[in-house]
Structure 1
Amino acid sequence: MHAMQYEITLPADYDMEIIRKRVATRGHLLDAFPGLGLKAYLMRERGGASAVNSYAPFYLWATPEGMNSFLWGPGFQGVVDDFGRPRVQHWVGLGYAEGPASTSAPTAATVRRTPVPEGVEPARSVADAVAEDAAPGVVASAVGIDPSRWELVRLTLWEGPAPADGGDRFEVLHLSAPGRGGLRSGRHW
C-alpha cells in the first residue's frame, strides 16, 4: 500500500462551492480506477477548526502501477490544469484497518503527521503507531511513513464529526473505493 496526498490551499475568499461542485461532477470518475484502494476527497473551510480553505484528496493505492497511472495520466493533469502542480506527499504504507463503523459512509477525516523522534528506535515507534486502537465512529484508518523525513502519517475516516485532537480535520465530500476490500488489514511488514 502507498499513501499519497496533495493539499491545494485556496484564497481566504475562495468560493468553496466550486470544490463541492467539482467533486460532485468528477468524483465518480475514480470509483473504478485500477490499482486504487480508496480516495477520500477532503476539503476544509476557513473558520472554525481551520485557518485556511483547502482541497486535499488523500489516496491509498493498492498498487504502484495504479498510482503511477493516475499521476502521469489525465486524472492528475486535470488538477494541474486547474490549480497548478501541487507538491505530492507520499508515504510507504505501514498498516490499514477497517474500524467499528466500517459499513458507514465517512463524513469527516483527520490527517495527523507525527515525526519519529531522534533517539527513539524507529521500529518501535512505527509498531506503536500501527497498533493504535480504532475508536467508536472510525470507518477506516491507515498509517504510512516517509523515511526521508521520518514522518508518520495517519488518515482516519469518521462516520460523524472528527475529534478535535485527531490532527487536521476535513470534510469528506466523496469516497472512491474500488479496491478498499483488497487493502490488506494489519501491519504491512
Structure 2
Amino acid sequence: MHAMQYAMTLPADYDMDVIRTRVSRLGHKLDAWEGLGIKAYLVRERGVDGSPVNQYAPFYLWHSMEGMNRFLWGGAFQGPVDDFGRPAVRQWTGLAYEEGVAAGSPAAVAIRRRQAVPDGVVLADVMADAAAEAGRLAGEDGAVLAAAVVDSSRWEIVHFSLWSGGTPKAEGEVFQVLHLSAPGRGRLPRGRQW
C-alpha cells in the first residue's frame, strides 16, 4: 500500500462551494480507477473544526504503484494542476490498513494526525505501535477505515482515518469528506504491512 496527498490552500475569502461543485461534477471520474484503493475528496474550511485555512486536500491509498503513476503522469492530475497550480505531492509507505467497524457506512469526516519519529528510538517498536494504532482506531464506533503510513525521508508517521459521523474517536486535523472513490478498497492489504 502506498499513500499520497496534496493540498491546495486557498484564500481566506475563497468560496468553498466552488470546490464542492467541482467534486460533485468530477469526483466520479476515479470511481473505477485501476490501482486506486481509495481517494477521499477532502476539504477544510477556515474557522470550522479548528481549521486555520480553506483547503482542498484529497488523500489516496493505492494498492498499485502503476495506478498512482498513471494518475500522476497519465493526464488526470493535470486538471487540478491547470486550475490551482502544481502542489507538492506527499507520499508515504504503508504500515497498516484496517477496515472499520462502520465499514459499510458512508464516510463524512476524515482525521489526519502527523507524528514525528524521534531520534534514538527503536524503529521497529515505533512502526509496530503505529500499526497497532490503526487497528485500535478501526475498532472504534463510527470508524469506516484507518491507516498508518510513514515518510522515511522526513521521519513522519501519518495516522489517517475515515468516520461515518458523530464525534470521531481520533485526534488530529479534521476534514469534511465530499466524495469517496473506492474502486480497489477490497484489494488494499489488511493489517500490518511487513
Q: What TM-score, normalized to structure 1? A: 0.97
Deviation string 1:13-32 (CA, Å, 9 cap, x unpaired) is 00000000000000000000
SS in 1 for 2:95: strand
Question: How big is the shift at 1:131?
Answer: 0.3
Pairing partner for 1:172 from 171, 177, 181:
177
Task: Answer whether contact 1:90 1:146 (CA < 8 A) is retained.
Answer: yes
In the alignment of these two chains, the number of paired residues is 189
Report the counterpart of residue 156 of structure 1 in structure 2.
Answer: 161
**Where do 1:45-124 residues align within 5 Å?**
45-48=45-48, 49-124=50-125
SS in 2 for 1:102: coil
Report the counterpart of residue 30 of structure 1 in structure 2.
Answer: 30
Which aligned runs of 4 or more in structure 1 are off by greater than 6 angstroms?
none
What amino acid is aligned across from residue 9 of structure 1 in structure 2? Answer: T
- Which moves more between the two structures, 128-137 or 97-106? 128-137
Question: How big is the shift at 1:166?
Answer: 1.3
Report the counterpart of residue 145 of structure 1 in structure 2.
Answer: 150
Task: Answer whether contact 2:110 2:176 (CA < 8 A) is retained.
Answer: yes
SS in 2 for 1:170: strand
Q: State the distance in 2 between where 1:36 and 1:187 align.
A: 19
Report the counterpart of residue 11 of structure 1 in structure 2.
Answer: 11
Question: How big is the shift at 1:67?
Answer: 0.3
Report the counterpart of residue 43 of structure 1 in structure 2.
Answer: 43
How many percent identity over aligned positions?
60
What amino acid is aligned across from residue 7 of structure 2 in structure 1? Answer: E
- Which moves more between the two structures, 19-28 or 71-80? 71-80
Task: Answer whether contact 1:108 1:162 (CA < 8 A) is retained.
Answer: no
What amino acid is aligned across from residue 174 of structure 1 in structure 2? Answer: H
Q: State the distance in 2 between where 1:28 and 1:184 align.
A: 24
Question: How big is the shift at 1:100?
Answer: 0.7
Q: What TM-score, normalized to structure 2? A: 0.95
Question: How big is the shift at 1:74?
Answer: 1.9
Report the counterpart of residue 141 of structure 2 in structure 1.
Answer: 136
Task: Answer whether contact 2:142 2:168 (CA < 8 A) is retained.
Answer: no
Q: State the distance in 2 between where 1:172 and 1:59 align.
A: 13
Question: How big is the shift at 1:169?
Answer: 0.4
What amino acid is aligned across from residue 84 of structure 1 in structure 2? Answer: G
Deviation string 1:88-147 (CA, Å, 9 cap, x unpaired) is 000001110001100101000001110111111111001001102122111001111001
Report the counterpart of residue 187 of structure 1 in structure 2.
Answer: 192
